[in-house]
Amino acid sequence: MTATIPPFLAACRRQPVPYTPLWIMRQAGRYLPEYRRVRSQAEFTTLLRSPELAAEVTLQPLRRFPLDAAILFSDIMTPLQGMGVSLSFEPGPVVHEPIRTDASVDALSQLVPERDVPFVLESIRLVRAGLPAGVPLIGFAGAPFTLLCYLVCGRPSKEFGAARSFLYSNPAAAERLIDRLADAMSAYLRAQAAAGAQALMLFESWAGLLAPPQFERFALRGVRRAVAGLREAGVPLIYYVNQGSALMECVADLDLDVIGVDWRSPLGTVRRKLGPGKAVQGNLDPAALFASPEDLRRHAGRVLDEAGGAPGHIFNLGHGIWPETDPDAVARLIDYVHERSSRQDGTGAVAP
C-alpha cells in the first residue's frame, strides 16, 4: 500500500484530494496574540535568527487551526543580509545603502546558505520535527525582481519608481543584479529543501508594477534562472504573482507547479489563461475576513466555485492576512472551506 500524500502536496501536483487544502499567507504573524507575545520579548531580526523562536512562531498557527501547510517564519530579505546587505525592519525592510550602480551589484557576495544563513536551515529542521506528518512545510524566497525593488529603492514604496526607472536607465546592471539574486535564491531554496522543506515558493510581490515586456525581460529571467536547478530537489514549486492578472499568459509555460494569485481576477479566468498544466493557489481578498460570518462563507464559496472542482486548487488569501484580522474569522474560514469542498465530487459539482 502506498502512503497517502498530504492534500496540500497532492493539490500542488494536480492530483485528486479529499477536500481543498488551505493555508494562509502570513499565517504566522501579527494577527495572532501568541505571536505578539513572543514579538514583545524579541526584535523581529532576533526572531528570524533564533531557530527556537522562529520554529515556535511557525508552529503557532498550526496549533490553533487545522491548516494544511506550514510556512517557515522568515523574511524575503533574510538571505540578502547573508550576501552583505545592511538592512533593518521598520517594520518593512529598509536597505541602508541602496544598490544603483554596477559596482554595488558586483559588491554583493555569493550566498553560501550553510555558512551565511545556517539559522534558517536549523529552523526548518526544528519545524519539521514539531509538525504532524500530514502537514508539509513550505520554504520560500523572494523572487529576484521583487528583491531588486527593495534593494534599489531602499524601502517599501507604492510605485517603486527608482527600481522601475533603473530597469530602463541601466538595463545591463539590472540584468546582472537579477542574475546574482537568481543564483543566490536558487542555492538558498535548494538548501531549504535539503534541510526538509517539502515545497518551495517564490514571492513576486511587486509583479504588478511591470508591463509584460519588462516582466518577461527582468522578472521571468530571474525566475527561470532561479528554478532551473530546482527540479532535482523533487518538491513542488510555487510562484506567487501579485497583481499579475495581465501576466498570466507569460507564466503559463514556466517549469513550475503552482501559480499563486491575488484576488483581483476570478480563478476561473486565471485557470483558463494558465491552461491545464498549472495548479492555482488563492484567491480570497484578505479584506473578506472582515465580513459577517455568513458573507464570508459566500465569498469563500465563490472562490471554490471559480476554482471549479478540478484537481489543482490550494485555497489561500490573495495576499498576506492583515494584522487587524480576528483569528476567529480564520477558524470559520478554514472550517467552511474544508467542509464545503469535501462535498465536491471532483467534477466541480457540489452534493446537496
Active-site residue flag, 332: no
Could you give the count of Cα atoms lying within 13 Å of 64 in the half-sphere of its Cβ? 24
Stretch that binds ligand 1CP, among 7-15, 27-35, 273-281, 302-310 (CB under 6 A): 27-35
Alpha helices, H only, the chain:
7-12, 33-41, 44-49, 51-64, 78-82, 102-106, 113-116, 118-130, 144-153, 161-169, 171-195, 212-214, 221-227, 248-251, 267-274, 293-307, 327-342
Helix (H, G, I), strand (E, B) or coil at 29: coil
Nearest CA to 284 among 273, 271, 297? 297
To the query of whether residue 39 is one of the catalytic residues in this protein, the response is: yes
Half-sphere exposure of residue 172, counting CA atoms within 13 Å on the CB side?
Answer: 4
Asked if 203 touches ligand 1CP (CB under 6 A), the answer is: yes
Place of cell 510605485: 159
Closer Cβ to ligand 1CP, 43 or 335, answer by number: 43
Residue 154 CA, chain-centre distance (Å), reads: 21
State which of residues 10, 32, 59, 76 lies at the interface with ligand 1CP (CB under 6 A).
76
SS3 content of the chain, % helix, strand, coil (to 5): 50, 10, 35
Binders of ligand 1CP among residues 152 to 191 (CB under 6 A) are 156
Complex with ligand 1CP: residue 70 or 307, whichever CB lies closer: 70
CB of 128 to ligand 1CP, least distance (A): 16
In the bound state with ligand 1CP, the residue whose beta carbon lies nearer, of 102 and 326, is 326
Choice among 31, 35, 150, 336 that is catalytic: 150
Query: Rule CB under 6 A: is residue 260 a binding residue for ligand 1CP?
Result: no
Question: Out of 39, 128, 217, 340, which residue is the one contacting ligand 1CP (CB under 6 A)?
Answer: 39
Among the listed residues 68, 75, 183, 262, the single catalytic one is: 75
Q: Is 262 in the site for ligand 1CP (CB under 6 A)?
A: no
The answer to whether residue 123 forms part of the interface with ligand 1CP (CB under 6 A) is no
* Nearest to ligand 1CP of 76, 85 (CB atom): 76
For residue 238, the number of C-alpha atoms closer than 13 Å in the C-beta half-sphere is 31
Which candidate, 244, 261, 234, 172, places its Cα nearest to that of 208? 244
Q: How many CB atoms lie within 10 A of CB 246?
A: 16
Confirm or reject binding of residue 46 to ligand 1CP (CB under 6 A): no
Q: Is 336 annotated as catalytic?
A: no
Residue numbers of the site for ligand 1CP (CB under 6 A)? 25-30, 39, 44, 71, 73, 75-76, 89, 91-93, 140, 156, 203, 205, 242, 320
